Amino acid sequence: MKQMDNRQNKLMQTKAGMRHFPKSGAVVSPNAGMGSAGISRGGIIYGLLRDVLMATKIAQSAKHAHLAVHHFDEAAPLLDHVRTKIPSLIILDWDACESEAFKLLKELQQNADFKSVPVVGYVSQSKRATQQEAQRSGCDRVYFKSDFMKHLDDLWVRYAS
């Protein structure tokens, strides 16, 4: 009976975690109901993320900093949102979205209005070449995953406040 209870608890935790990670383009933070008038430029973050665990951790950390996080699977919808509301920060998952991230960086660099938007990302340590190439392509900073999670609260202070 204990095993069933443990499995049920895990399922309940998984379902609860999924509430914080809706489909692409949806708002992840509880500030979502505020509308565009209620969220200033300093309070919105866009992420090109496919890793559910990382996106959930980012959302939870941003929630504590009273920031709204929008999650996207592809570069095109993220760019559409950037054109309507400029974010304080864009976060890129270089492990799962490498080609989409390069497309996004290219578009951001071509538009003078978006060059001022800070872009940071994370990558696993086995992809050092990707890290260097991303920084040469215009990503302000590419962290290793472990360092990114350690410095996540500092990112909110530095870029999104």
pLDDT digits 0-9 by tens, 42-88: 578 999 999 899 999 999 999 988 898 999 999 999 999 998 999 99
Residue 37 has pLDDT above 50, yes or no: no
Give the Cα separation of 44 and 36 in Å (integer): 10
Residue range 115-144: mean pLDDT, rounded:
92
Confidence grade of residue 139 (pLDDT, cut at 50, 70, 90): very high
What single letter denotes the amino acid at residue 74?
A: E
Helix (H) or strand (E) holding 155: helix 152-159
pLDDT above 70 coverage of the chain, percent: 73
pLDDT of residue 90: 95
CA distances from 44 to 18, 118, 130 (A): 21, 12, 27
How far does CA 24 lie from the centroid of its chain? Answer: 11
Confidence grade of residue 113 (pLDDT, cut at 50, 70, 90): confident
- State pTM to two decimals: 0.73
Domains of the chain by residue range:
22-159
Q: Which CATH architecture has domain 22-159?
A: 3-Layer(aba) Sandwich (3.40)
